[in-house]
Amino acid sequence: PFSSIGPYSDSFTSTTVLSRMIEGIGFRFYWATEGLRQIDLDYKPCDDGRSCYENIEHISMLTDAISDAFAGRIYDFSNTRSGFEDYRQGTLNNLYAIFKTLESNPDFSKISVRLNYNGEEIVTPFWNLINGPFSDIIYHTGQVVAYRRITDNPINQGVNVFVGQVMS
């Protein structure tokens, strides 16, 4: 999913705006991670920073947390994936599932974020997903794009994030 973005909605509602935001995130992540090589994944800008691979792992865990919120589950910071392809596909699948959930259940006003943090349950409102995980995914996806430029493997030049399509 998200190799391109479908047509936009004719209406502006909280659901259609969030849906389009998820499509944009998915599109950017898809193309940021398409065609990565081991040298790209290993790139780390400094000793105390995350590598490209570690950013992708982090993005995957963020989408797990969002997915759990939409499903009414408590996110427990466990990580059941391993390997680049597993993280990449898991991230895209999570975003797609959230996107489809919004199509079938557009009322997300009751969604809350529930976290199991060191044995303590922390509950925050949906708003925290916007300034937290959703924004963080955009931030880290940009890092992946920058890192792959540094390793001389820029994203496909035809990718147009403005229109959500790959141009010839």
Share of the chain above pLDDT 90, in %: 86
pLDDT band per the 50, 70, 90 thresholds, residue 35: very high
pLDDT in tens, 111-153: 999 999 888 999 999 999 999 999 999 999 999 999 999 999 9
Phi, psi of 9 (to 5 degrees): -75, 155
Q: For the chain, first and last CA: distance in Å?
A: 20
Contact of 68 with 94, CB cutoff 8 Å: no
Token pair of 71, please?
């499903």
- pLDDT at residue 104 in the model: 87
- Among 65, 76, 162, residue whose Cα is nearest residue 113: 65
Contact of 118 with 47, CB cutoff 8 Å: no
Question: What is the C-alpha to C-alpha distance for residues 111 and 18, in angstroms, rounded to an integer?
Answer: 13
pLDDT band per the 50, 70, 90 thresholds, residue 106: confident
Contact of 153 with 40, CB cutoff 8 Å: yes
Give pTM, 2 decimals: 0.94
- pLDDT at residue 77 in the model: 87
Secondary structure element (H or E) that encloses residue 124, with its range: strand 120-125
- pLDDT at residue 11 in the model: 92
- pLDDT at residue 83 in the model: 95
- pLDDT at residue 168 in the model: 81
pLDDT at 79 over 90: no
Q: Is 113 helix (H, G, I), strand (E, B) or coil?
A: strand
pLDDT band per the 50, 70, 90 thresholds, residue 40: very high
